[in-house]
Amino acid sequence: MSVSKRVQQLTPSATLATAAKAQQLKDQGIDVISLTLGEPDFHTPKHIQQAAIQAITDGVASFYTASTGMKQLKQGILDRTKADIGVAYELDEVVVTHGAKFGLYSLFQALLDPEDEVIIPAPYWVSYVEQVKLAEGVAKKLVPKSAHQFKVTLAELEALRSEKTKALVLTSPSNPTGAVYTKEELVDIGQWAVRHNIYIIADEIYGKLVYNGMVFHSLASLGEQIKKQILLINGVSKAYSMTGWRIGYVLGDQEIIAGIGAVASQATSNPATVSQYAALEALTGPQDKVEEMRLAFEERLNVIYPLVKALPGVKLTKPEGAFYLFPDVKETVALCGYSDTQSFVDALLEEAHVAVVAGAGFGAPDHIRLSYATDLETLKEAVKRMQHFIEKKS
Ligand code: PLP
């Protein structure tokens, strides 16, 4: 085998794999509804598109930028961060990356030595564990006992902490559960990180997408001491409907940020210049489209949540943010006569033409993830198909 051991050990993204399977069926002309991807269905707002077109016609998009991103975009990120969460960072404390995903990848490369441990609470976004492995770190998965949306407790963190614990990943709002940590919970976890000098990789990419009165708090906003431990991940993909543009950013300790810049300088040179101009407009231009899209997600959540919850055997807590439902389908799977969630998910795709992602890739094998970042009619049709499928099988 000529493929490296490192890559042999890699598990490809479950989400992208299921999405690809759904696309294959679509290519055969089958009417598949795919609720797999974490991708808003809205087009990037017009004023952002326009800024990108302008950058192309002005000629500025033709060239490389600094590998850590354009200065004016970094300033735009600092201003947006100050406006959104009330926290001030300096220019050498921010790096622009090729999506938040590469921000995380290069952060783990810059932060971890072999054997360094990273605590990753389950259910987790599919890429953290694999990215830690690629950086030769050790991913310590934590499966919270709490039935309440899987939030971690201090006792659980403490039980997993060791001398080698370098970082904790905390995603709030969470992909896949949609859980949002309260200020009090975050303060407790932040103080724990300060006490033990552990970095918290705070993935706040869904920070603008909270619903039904829930308030989002950034870990970086909880005082200077906690802020020092925080490596803040964000980007334009979700809130600005810009997944294809690939712009994310990391904020935090100047040395680690410089390390990420060094990785990027050898890996990507710079995030696409045209996308940086688009992101600059997104972050510094009018913000009303963000709220419009948030309201659309909120409406979809409020319509779709009770329908999914009412499916036979399904257990589901109402999410407070992001755009996913993550129901426990253990009983449903058994009711339909399948031995595991993946077989249920495969049959649902092949027979009912609804694509969802099995929970195993997120560290919660009894669950499935449905993205509700699609229009209401499609969502209702998907649930109808699921209902028929379950009734037929049980
Ligand atoms: N973090 C979380 C929790 C996500 O769900 C995603 C996207 O699915 C990302 C990071 C990466 O976002 P992007 O690379 O599109 O900026």
pLDDT tens-digit readout, 80-133: 999 999 999 999 999 999 999 999 999 999 999 999 999 999 999 989 999 999
| Atom of ligand 1 minimally distant from the CA of 125 | 3
> What's the 60 CA to ligand 1 centre distance in angstroms?
27
Give 244 Cα–ligand 1 centroid separation in angstroms: 12
How far from 312 is each of 301, 354, 392, CA to CA, in Å? 19, 17, 12
Contact yes or no for 147/295 (Cβ under 8 A): no
Residues 97 and 183 in one domain: yes
Q: Which residues of 155-193 are buried (b: 16+ CB within 10 A; e: fewer)?
A: ebbeebbeeebbbbbbbbbbbbbbbbbeeebbbebbbbb
Tens of pLDDT, residue by residue over 36-92, are 988 999 999 999 999 999 999 999 999 999 999 999 999 999 999 999 999 999 999
How confident is the prediction for the chain on average, in pLDDT? 95
CA of 351 to the centre of ligand 1 (A): 30
Is residue 276 one of the residues assigned to a domain?
A: yes
What DSSP character marks residue 152?
-
Please check whether residue 97 is in contact with residue 271, taking contact to mean a CB–CB distance below 8 angstroms: yes
Predicted confidence band at 147 (pLDDT cuts at 50, 70, 90)? low
Which of 128, 238, 323 for a ligand 1 pocket mutation test, highest count of atoms within 8 Å of Cβ?
238
Ligand 1 nearest-atom number relative to CA 39: 8
**344 and 235 belong to one structural domain:** no
Q: Do 231 and 265 have their domain in common?
A: yes
Q: Is there a domain that residue 51 lies in? A: no
Domain end: 222, 256, 284, which one? 284
Same structural domain, 127 and 210:
yes
Q: Mapping DSSP to helix (H, G, I), strand (E, B) and coil, where does residue 297 land?
A: helix
CA angle 152, 156, 157 (to 5 degrees): 85
In a domain, 16, yes or no: yes
Residue 240: pLDDT over 80: yes
Domain boundary among 244, 265, 284: 284
| Whole-angstrom distance, CA of residue 374 vs CA of residue 380 | 10
- The region that residue 69 occupies, defined by phi over 0 for left and psi between -120 and 50 for alpha, beta otherwise, is left
Q: How many CA atoms lie within 13 A of 182 on its CB side?
A: 6
Candidates 234, 184, 244; CA nearest to 209 is 234
Number of C-beta neighbours around residue 353 at 10 A: 18
Going by C-beta distance under 8 Å and a sequence separation of 6 or more, which residues neighbour residue 221?
Answer: 85, 86, 87, 227
Tell whether the model's pLDDT for residue 290 goes beyond 90.
yes
In a domain, 54, yes or no: no
Task: Say whether both 166 and 297 belong to one domain.
Answer: no
In a domain, 49, yes or no: no
The tally of domains found in the chain comes to 2
> Is position 303 within any domain?
yes
Q: Are residues 204 and 294 in the same domain?
A: no
Task: Name the closest-CA residue to atom 8, ligand 1.
Answer: 38
Q: Which residue has the tokens 């090729």?
A: 98
Q: Which of 235, 258, 284 is the last residue of a domain?
A: 284
Ligand 1 centroid distance, CA of 102 (Å):
9
Query: Rounded to the nearest 10 degrees, how much is the dihedral formed by the CA atoms of 43, 101, 183, 177?
Result: 70
**CATH number assigned to the domain comprising residue 316:** 3.90.1150.10
In a domain, 277, yes or no: yes
**In terms of domains, do 253 and 379 share one?**
no
| Ligand 1 lining (C-beta closer than 6 Å) | 38, 99-101, 125, 171, 175, 203, 205, 235, 237, 243, 248
Atom of ligand 1 nearest to the CA of 174: 3
Q: Give Cα separations from 371 to 28, 91, 308, 343, 384 (angstroms).
A: 23, 35, 12, 19, 16
Judge if 186 and 206 occupy the same domain.
yes
- What is residue 306's predicted lDDT score, i.e. its pLDDT? 98
CA distance 369 to 123: 11
Whether residues 334 and 366 fall in one domain? yes
CA of 175 to the centre of ligand 1 (A): 9
| Beta-sheet pairing, 247-251 with 33-34 | unpaired
Looking from the CA of residue 235, the nearest atom of ligand 1 is 16
- The domain that holds 85 is classified in CATH as 3.40.640.10
Q: Residue 335 domain-assigned?
A: yes
Give the model confidence (pLDDT) of 300-344 as tens digits: 999 999 999 999 999 999 999 999 999 999 999 999 999 999 999
DSSP run (H or E) holding 96? strand 94-98
Give residue 394 CA to ligand 1 midpoint distance, Å. Answer: 36
Distances, alpha carbon 229 to alpha carbons 185, 256, 261, in Å: 16, 11, 19
Nearest CA to ligand 1 atom 7: 38
Verify that 266 and 297 share a domain, yes or no.
Answer: no
CA nearest neighbour of 364 among 203, 143, 37, 175: 143
Q: Tell me the CA–centroid distance for residue 123 and ligand 1, in Å.
A: 15
Length of the chain: 394
Check if the beta carbon of residue 38 is closer than 8 Å to that of residue 234.
Answer: no
CA 243 / ligand 1 centre spacing (Å): 9
Q: Is the per-residue pLDDT at 381 higher than 90? A: yes
pLDDT at 348 over 90: yes
Q: Same structural domain for residues 192 and 251?
A: yes
Give me the DSSP letters along 331-382.
HHHHHTT-SSHHHHHHHIIIII-EE-EEGGGGT-TTBEEEE--S-HHHHHHH
- 227 and 338 within one domain: no
Domain that holds residue 37: 5-43+289-393
